[in-house]
Structure formats: C-alpha cells, structure tokens
Structure 1
Amino acid sequence: MQTLVGWHIEMEFHEEGPRTTAAALVRLADGTEMRAHGYTSRHPSDPDQLRVGEEIAAARALNDLASQLLTKAHNEIQAVSPVPTHPLS
C-alpha cells in the first residue's frame, strides 16, 4: 500500500530598500510548525533586481528550515534508538 504525503511551505517576503527578508513556514503531519528566516542585502552599486533578492533570501530561509528538519529527525531517531547517533547534516 502506498501512502501519499505532502507538505506545503508558505513563503513571505519583505523588501525595504536594499534589504530583502523571507519567512518560511511548514506544517508537518504531526502538528509541528517550523518557521525559518533568511535575508539578503543588495550592495549599493548593484542594480535593483527584487526577484534576485527574493531568491537568495528564500534559499537561506529554506536552508534554515532544512537544518531544523534534520535536527528534528535526528532527535526522533535518537529517542527510539539505543545506539548513539550523530546529528544529520
């Protein structure tokens, strides 16, 4: 039997001058909500490309979210395993 599971990640952006911030939110099937943030700052001599700032800030937020998910998985494995494990990375 195959089970289909899906997650939806919400991503919001805030742009103020040269700084772009991203906030990510994911709700897991176990009810856990994880939030992560990322930001970027455009150098004053760089052209104004808002999409690029969003992409970099989003990537950094998703990287933070990935780290949180790996830590959660490690803790859940460690909770049921008698063998010491190393944090996932």
Structure 2
Amino acid sequence: MPTLAGWHVEMEFTEDGHRTNAAALLRLADGSEVRARGYAMRHPSDPEQLRVGEEIAGARALMDLAGQLLQKAHGEIDEATGRHSYPLTA
C-alpha cells in the first residue's frame, strides 16, 4: 500500500506602504524547516489591490522555497551517492 505524505506551507503577509511582503514556512518530516520570503511593490499610480500584491509576493516566496528544496534534495543525493548531482532550475 502506498505511503501518503503531505506538506502544509504557512504563509504570512505584511503590507508596508506600496510593498507587500510574504514569509513562507515549510516543516518537513525529517524535522527540518525551510523558510522563504517574497515581495511585491505597487507603483504609486496603480490602484490598491491587496490580493494581487499577496499573490505576487506569495508566488515569489514559493519560488524561493522551491529552489531551497531542490538544493536540499540534491545535497542529500550527493551525500548518499558520493557524486555531484545537478538540479534543474525553472
């Protein structure tokens, strides 16, 4: 029977003037945590749309999180095999 695994990413947003900041936190089954940040900046002449700023900042934080997870996984592959692996980047 397959083993099910799941991850929950916690995401928090803050607004500071025209800037939206996102902080992401992922707790992995091995007990480690991966933290990432992203931001979005609204041009002063653009209308205020909090959701859009959160979506952009959140997406950037998740992209950072994905990159860190790739590095972590390839580090574990390298350690287990004694060879250097090459992560593909998006």
**TM-score normalised by length of structure 2:** 0.93
Mapping 1:1-89, distance limit 5 Å: 1-89=1-89
One-letter code of the match for 1:32?
A: S
Count of aligned pairs = 89
RMSD over equivalenced CA pairs, Å:
1.0
Q: Mind listing any 5+ residue stretches in structure 1 that lack a counterpart?
A: none
Amino acid at match of 1:45: S
Extract structure 1 runs of 4+ deviating beyond 2 A.
none
CA distance in 2, matches of 1:54, 1:12: 9
The C-alpha deviation readout for 1:38-73, integer Å capped at 9, x for no partner, is 001100111110100000000000000000000000
Structure 2 residue runs without a partner (length 5+)? none
Distance 1:78 1:88 in 2: 15
Identity, % of aligned positions: 67
